[in-house]
Amino acid sequence: MLVMKRLAEGSKANSDDLNCLNTCTTCGICTENCPSGVDPPQSIEDARRILVSSGTMTDTQSSLSERANFSGNVLGDSSSRIGWLRDQRGLPHKADLVYFVGCLASYRYPDIAAKTFDILRRFGAALLPDEKCCGSPLLRTGFDARELIDSNLTQIKDMGAKTLITGCAGCYTTLKNSYPDEFEVLSVPEFLAEHISELNLKPLELTVTYHDPCHLGRRHKIYDGPRKVIEAICDLKEMKANRNQSRCCGGGGGVRSGYRDLSLGMARKRLLDVPAGVDYIVTSCPLCIRNLNDAGGDGKVIDLVDLVSEAIQAIGK
Amino acid sequence: MVVLEDLRQIVGDRVTASPTELYCYSSDASLVGGMPDYVVLPKSTTEVAQILCLASEFEVSVTARGAGTGLAGGAVPVKGGIVLDMSGMNRIIEIDDDNLLVVVEPGIVLDKLNEALEPHGFFFPPDPGSSAMCTIGGLISNNGSGMRCVKYGTCRNYVLDLEVVLADGHIINTGSKMLKSSAGYDLTRLMIGAEGTLGVITEIVLKIIPLPETRKLVIASFETAETAGKAVIKTFSSGIIPSACEILDRTTIQVLKRCDPDLLIPDDDVVLFEVDGTMSSVDESAQRIVDVCATLASSIRIASGKSEMDEIWAARRLVGAAVSRLDPAKSRVYVGEDAGVPLKQIPNLIKRVQEISDEFDVPAMKYGHIGDGNLHVALFIDVMDKSQWKRLMHAADKIHRAAIDLGGTVSCEHGIGRAKAQYMDDQCGPALDTMRAIKAALDPKDILNPGKLGL
């Protein structure tokens, strides 16, 4: 906040200012605990936007923007976005329900994308024909994401979609807050919790903990849905800091791409909150999964959908 | 730049002259500002001593800083120079509960210290609202206290020994590990509240006391602040010393309810009496407060249990910063916020503050430690409106002068720093010259936190 005050007083931004502003994950725990009701992540994003619009940005920021705008995904991957889908025949062109996959699930977690779609398509979900990055990484780091948003929006309208479901917390915030309010947006945990009786879940002999992704928890107060699903399957042991006081995984706000050591350090700190005796750390955000696993989670960090898939006996008729 | 290179020789890369980082050390929670030339993060007493030798040689100012939570500009380098960020010297060196003491470095955060003491069954009582962030070094340097000092006293009651680096780099110990001592001048008490103007504290021996078995909270409401004041005096006279005794005026109650709409607190002026001790003594004391205050209070009850008590105290701790919840267009400005008067004058001070608030049309939330005469006044304005600033500063000045008129003080626990330095003549009279003489003797080059305390 002081750095922003310094810039507002007329100082020219230097690299220290940029590093300071760009090392905020915008996780919002400060907002949650501020007695005055200040929302620093909003101010941080505003400051980044003002700086970017005047051409002041780090190299990481500019390459992220180029990558996302050029390739349509934040990873700059030129391969098919639905390579994870074995049978791509007969995908509907019209549907009420659309699964918005997101860049990370599409390219880094194809299994999670496939498992999620396996569940959702039984409820009639389709895919956008040419899904692009939702725009979140650009918006979080100060850029305009209009082109990506417009491309997705056109497809959403053409599909006639009434509801978008996403398994990525970052996509969820963006679809909810930065797209026109013309369709319902649901997170995968919310959807699963709503349809829990239709999932025919089989109990598993496991004890897991749940990591609240910042963009689902603090941003949208989605705390109970994922817990309801987990408790329908196995034992849940809460992390030391949980719900609105959860620590960030360290990956958000562009911090993982710009400041890897810091990002992994935050993730290691978060892993210290994991209670003893759990088999898995369940979450519902691919960025959290990636960062926590990279920081020592060693594959024990899984998606809620991984757990649900394991527990499914048969989907409702 | 010579100084910067020399500082690097002492602390390596734990020194900065980056404009961005310097800016972050140019203020605290008050309106006082001052840009340092260098910020250094020492890790040991030896490093602090070397830095002070260097500063003395080049006559560079040195301002020690804890967490920057001060409300009077005490840690703001108003004359530039070096800021010593002591937050890295944050170890608990020894918990010696057999001897009722703990040895710490000054950068330890207060709540962290108490978390470490709890398993031993002990605590360090001073409890300012900033306990989650403030450091022990800063707390001691301002003789901070908090809600429980009505029973337990301020920092001065708990510091047994200080390791202090003097202006020329020499290191002294002001006391010992003894719980009492009559060996010469009480240099420990001299350093407490000195705001880093006489030396830099590098190690602290604190007396600790056993945690009470239990606590209870009595919530009483009153039609007027004057009646509330009478009830407090009657409580003391009946032989009860509460472990906290807080007054919250109607505006404060409104803010509290915005913070936590579930709080069951009356809308009048409220006094919270907390008692602690053994189960039976607490039951008896709480009931006696209810009986003693019954004829004066509009309502009075004992809180239902620990969770209700914890919720009320949590909201109370945040209330000072939460005034924007009442009117988002307005922010609290920390001026005139720490006045105090002798107990019996509290209703008078509250009345005078209300008159001042009305005269200058600056709204005021009034709350504080009625049990020890300390009234926190939260003046809040639209900070974008220049005319409101002018009125605010006049109102704050009048509040300070009212406190002195009533035989009180402009600062009970936040310190003088720069923000209240102009009142030191009126506050201390000829004693200020004695303070100046002490300062000149210990810091002849005036390098230690210059521009503070009205010296």
pLDDT tens, A172-215? 999 999 999 999 999 999 999 999 999 999 999 999 999 999 99
Q: What is the DSSP string of B277-339?
A: ESHHHHHHHHHHHHHHHTTT-SEEEE-SSHHHHHHHHHHHHHGGG-GGGT-TT-EEE-SS--E
Q: For chain A, what is the mean pLDDT?
A: 96
Q: Which two tokens stand for residue B292?
A: 């003693």
Cβ contacts of B23 on chain A, cutoff 8 Å: 2-3, 6, 11
Q: Please tell me the predicted confidence (pLDDT) of residue B407.
A: 97
Of A6, A35, A36, the CB nearest to B20: A6
Predicted confidence band at A315 (pLDDT cuts at 50, 70, 90)? very low
For chain A, how far is it from start to end, CA to CA, in angstroms?
54
Lowest-confidence pick of A174-178, B323-327, B418-422: B323-327
Residue A317 pLDDT more than 70? no
Nearest-CA distance A14 → chain B (Å): 8
* Chain A nearest-CA residue for B129: A35
- The residues pairing with B82 across neighbouring beta strands, listed in sequence order, are B38, B62
* Chain A nearest-CA residue for B19: A16
Selection from B415, B449, B438, B439 nearest residue B154 by Cα: B415
CB contact under 8 A, A35 and B21: no
**Mean pLDDT, rounded, for A69-94:** 94
* Residues B250-308 pLDDT 10s: 999 998 888 888 888 999 999 999 999 999 999 999 999 999 999 999 999 999 999 99
CB contact under 8 A, B322 and A36: yes
**Mean pLDDT, rounded, for A94-100:** 98
Check: complex ipTM more than 0.90: no
**Mean pLDDT, rounded, for B352-359:** 96
Q: Give the residue from B16, B20, B131, B367 with the most A CB atoms within 10 Å of its CB, the best one to mutate.
A: B20
* Chain B nearest-CA residue for A15: B20
**Residue found by looking up tokens 């267009």 in the block:** B329
Q: Which two tokens stand for residue B55?
A: 């500063």
Nearest-CA distance A296 → chain B (Å): 27
Please, are residues B339 and B403 in contact by the beta-carbon 8 Å criterion? yes
Selection from B180, B158, B27, B54 nearest residue B104 by Cα: B158
> By the CB < 8 Å criterion, does A14 face chain B?
yes
Q: For chain B, what is the mean pLDDT?
A: 96
CB contact under 8 A, B331 and A36: yes
CB contact under 8 A, A16 and B27: no
> By the CB < 8 Å criterion, does A6 face chain B?
yes
Torsion A252-A255-A260-A265 (CA) sign: negative
CB contact under 8 A, B20 and A35: no
Please, are residues A67 and A76 in contact by the beta-carbon 8 Å criterion? yes
Q: Please tell me the predicted confidence (pLDDT) of residue B29.
A: 92
Cβ contacts of A8 on chain B, cutoff 8 Å: none
Q: Which structural domains are found in chain B, ordered by start?
A: 2-87 (3.30.43.10), 88-210 (3.30.465.10), 214-321 (3.30.70.2190), 329-428 (3.30.70.2740)
CB contact under 8 A, B18 and A16: yes
Enumerate helices (H) and strands (E) in chain B, giving the number of each.
Answer: 15, 19
Element (H, E) at B5: helix B2-11
Predicted confidence band at B315 (pLDDT cuts at 50, 70, 90)? confident
Of B23, B27, B322, the CB nearest to A35: B322
CB contact under 8 A, B19 and A14: yes
Residue type, B73: G
* Residues A39-73 pLDDT 10s: 999 999 999 999 999 999 999 999 999 999 999 99
3-state secondary structure of A285: coil
Please report which residue ranges of A54-181 form alpha helices under DSSP H. 59-71, 103-107, 110-120, 136-140, 146-159, 169-177
Q: Please tell me the predicted confidence (pLDDT) of residue A313.
A: 65
Predicted confidence band at A316 (pLDDT cuts at 50, 70, 90)? very low
Residue A314 pLDDT more than 70? no
> By the CB < 8 Å criterion, does A7 face chain B?
no
Of B18, B24, B321, the CB nearest to A35: B321
Q: Which structural domains are found in chain A, ordered by start?
A: 2-58 (no CATH), 97-193 (3.40.50), 196-311 (3.40.50)
> By the CB < 8 Å criterion, does A33 face chain B?
no
Cβ contacts of A14 on chain B, cutoff 8 Å: 18-20
Of A2, A36, A37, the CB nearest to B23: A2
The residue count for chain A: 317
Q: Which two tokens stand for residue A277?
A: 């005796």
Q: Which two tokens stand for residue B106?
A: 């000054």
3-state secondary structure of A104: helix
Cβ contacts of B328 on chain A, cutoff 8 Å: 37
Q: Please tell me the predicted confidence (pLDDT) of residue B319.
A: 87
Please, are residues B220 and B240 in contact by the beta-carbon 8 Å criterion? no
Counting one residue from A and one from B, how many pairs have CB atoms under 8 Å apart? 38
Q: How far apart are CA B175 and CA B325, in angstroms?
A: 46
